[in-house]
Structure 1
Amino acid sequence: MGVQIEVHGLAKSFGRQNIWQDVSLTVPAGELSVLLGPSGTGKSVFLKCLVGLLRPERGRIMVNGVDLCRCTESERYELRKLFGVLFQDGALFGSMTVYDNIAFPLREHTRKTEAEIRRLVNDKMELVGLVGAERKLPGELSGGMRKRAGLARALVLDPEIILCDEPDSGLDPVRTAYLSQLLVDLNAQVDVTILIVTHNISVARTVPDNLGMLYRRRLVGFGPREILLTSEEPVVAQFLGGHRHGPIGMSEETDAAEGTWPSTVPEIVPQLTPSPGLPARQAIQRRQERVRVMLPTLSPAAREHVLANWGVPR
């Protein structure tokens, strides 16, 4: 099962530019989570802080009982082995074949034989649907194939946490749907912790167990999908609905600190399920148990939509 990530009071700036402050959330172990936000809200910066590529000014990031913000270099090196990262462009080495790109972490961080490496690489290539592309260079691949190659490389060390930085970026809706299904299937098979950064509304509404949103240098909310998808918080409702009217403007300068949202509570879009033949995702039961505790705090309309989404008679 994957590993939980606990973030407490995180703040990050570049010079005088404050990216976000006082961000606190818990990414549950073995579940799919999505972090949303308008462009420029520091979603990718947040991922880089989680994996230790950037150091925040304040706060804690707890993984396996170790604070990534204050640990030694050797502790950080060991913790990074728990992570697999899928970057926006795949971050493949242009001079290496697809096979060598995927094999690179194994050759760099393990003492496995080439026969063992070949078996592991072939397994991951089959998992992401890249069998037959072993000898191709990244420049010969489509955008979707580069993403899948990047995902195979992120998976080759069998990480317990997978961070995906806008995996849908540059992909058409069909390829995005395939990649979304691949992540859901992966979680069903190995119960890995997955955190996806995106501003794709379709992905946010159908893929994750948990949703969060960054806006105006703060975390607006983070919690189970049922809670966020029925949220009456104007910013969350406007963004998830993809509407023009609300506190989010064309640019950060035209954003409003507050706003109103006159719409009714939306119904919950069904969540993407694993492909036929795969086991049911254990994360769903864990998430629904948390939501049951929260049901009394919801509005009657939100509560009705949650129960309807679960198939409970009205």
Structure 2
Amino acid sequence: MGVEICVEGLTKSFGHQVVWQDVSLTLPAGEVSVMLGPSGTGKSVFLKTLVGLLRPDRGSVTVAGRDITRLRERELYEVRKLFGVLFQDGALFGSMNLYDNIAFPLREHTRRSESEIRRVVLEKMDMVGLIGSEGKLPGEISGGMRKRAGLARALVLDPEIILFDEPDSGLDPVRVAYLNQLIVDLNAQIDATFLIVTHDISSARQVPDNIGLLFRRELVMFGPREELLNSDEPVVRQFLGGRMQGPIGMAEEKDAAQVKQELAQLVDTAPAREPTPRLLPGPGITRPPRWEAIARREAALHRKEVTGA
């Protein structure tokens, strides 16, 4: 079972530049959450802060009951064992074949025998559909295969939390669809807590239980996907709709008067439709019911019906 991550009042700056401030949210245990936001809003910085690679200026990140912002390096090392991370490019060693890349964390951080390592590596390669590719080098395979190899390596230590830093970057829409299904299937199988940073709106609509949006140095919203997909918040509607009218500009934020004028002139001619259905696990894979998630989604939909907001 995955573990809950509770973020309270998190603020991070580089010099005089504030990346984001006073960010508070809870990533529910065992659920898939997505963090969206325009380029340059600090989504990757947020991931690195969660795993303790960057220290925040203020705030707390509580993982399994421990605030990692206050831990010493030795204690932080122990908490990091709960995490697996899939980096944008897979972060594979170019001189190692896929088998050795995936085995690397086991050889580096455990004292398992080579026969036990082989069992684990082949099990994880099977989970991501890479059996038969053990001897291939990263340079000999497609971008999608490199992503899956990076994911297999993130899984070998059986993490309870998996962070995905733009897993769809560099992939065509078909490979993104396959990767999205793989993520949903894995979450159902291993029941870990997933957080995905992405720009891909299709993925954000289909994959997660929860969605968050970073903009203007703050967390605009975080909650059940239905709540975000039905939101009337201008920046949320603009980002999910992929349109120019709204607070997000090409190079910088627009001023309030310009945004107000654009939104007043905007005529939304798209027909009303139901939110995109969430992807279900593949045949033969059963996801345990998340009763708390179901209750939050129902409450969000009820608020929308009652208040119209």
Same fold per superposition (TM over 0.5):
yes
Structure 2 distance, partners of 1:256, 1:215, is 14
Contact 1:191 1:282 (C-alpha < 8 Å) held by counterparts: no
Partner of 1:219: 219
Q: Does residue 287 in structure 1 map to residue 293 in structure 2?
A: yes
Q: Does residue 209 in structure 1 map to residue 222 in structure 2?
A: no
After superposition, give the CA deviation of every residue in 1:84-129 in whole Å (9 maximum; x if it has no partner). Answer: 0000000111111111110011011111000000000000111111
Unaligned residue ranges in structure 1 (runs of 5+): 304-314
For residue 274 of structure 1, what is the amino acid of its counterpart?
P
90 and 49 in structure 1: CA distance in 2 versus 1, 3 angstrom threshold: same
For residue 274 of structure 2, what is the amino acid of its counterpart?
E
Q: Secondary structure at the match of 1:282?
A: coil
For residue 282 of structure 2, what is the amino acid of its counterpart?
S
Structure 2 distance, partners of 1:153, 1:255, is 45
Bigger Cα displacement from structure 2, 127-136 vs 42-51:
127-136
Partner of 2:274: 267
Contact 1:10 1:58 (C-alpha < 8 Å) held by counterparts: yes
Partner of 2:48: 48
User: How far did residue 163 of structure 1 move?
Assistant: 0.1
Q: Secondary structure at the match of 2:284?
A: coil
Structure 2 distance, partners of 1:294, 1:172, is 33
Q: Secondary structure at the match of 2:131?
A: coil
For residue 4 of structure 2, what is the amino acid of its counterpart?
Q
Contact 1:61 1:67 (C-alpha < 8 Å) held by counterparts: yes
User: How far did residue 74 of structure 1 move?
Assistant: 1.6
Coordinate RMSD, CA, aligned: 1.9
Partner of 1:160: 160
Structure 1 distance, partners of 2:252, 2:222, is 21
Give the TM-score normalised by the residue count of structure 1: 0.91
After superposition, give the CA deviation of every residue in 1:246-303 in whole Å (9 maximum; x if it has no partner). Answer: 11111224475965476487631100010011113423x4312123334443245969
User: How far did residue 184 of structure 1 move?
Assistant: 0.2
Bigger Cα displacement from structure 2, 105-114 vs 249-258:
249-258
Q: Secondary structure at the match of 2:129?
A: coil
Unaligned residue ranges in structure 2 (runs of 5+): none
For residue 97 of structure 1, what is the amino acid of its counterpart?
N
Structure 1 distance, partners of 2:296, 2:154, is 30
Structure 1 distance, partners of 2:267, 2:38, is 21
For residue 72 of structure 1, what is the amino acid of its counterpart?
R
Contact 1:97 1:134 (C-alpha < 8 Å) held by counterparts: yes
Give the TM-score normalised by the residue count of structure 2: 0.93
Contact 1:87 1:150 (C-alpha < 8 Å) held by counterparts: yes
Structure 2 distance, partners of 1:280, 1:255, is 45
For residue 91 of structure 1, what is the amino acid of its counterpart?
A
Bigger Cα displacement from structure 2, 150-159 vs 251-260:
251-260
Contact 1:229 1:266 (C-alpha < 8 Å) held by counterparts: no
Structure 2 distance, partners of 1:86, 1:33, is 15
Partner of 1:169: 169
User: How far did residue 48 of structure 1 move?
Assistant: 0.4
Q: Does residue 7 in structure 1 map to residue 13 in structure 2?
A: no
Q: Does residue 249 in structure 1 map to residue 263 in structure 2?
A: no
Equivalences for residues 1-314 of structure 1 within 5 A:
1-254=1-254, 259=260, 260=263, 263=268, 267-283=274-290, 285-300=291-306
- How many residues are matched? 302
248 and 265 in structure 1: CA distance in 2 versus 1, 3 angstrom threshold: farther
Q: Secondary structure at the match of 1:194?
A: strand
For residue 279 of structure 2, what is the amino acid of its counterpart?
L
Bigger Cα displacement from structure 2, 157-166 vs 250-259:
250-259
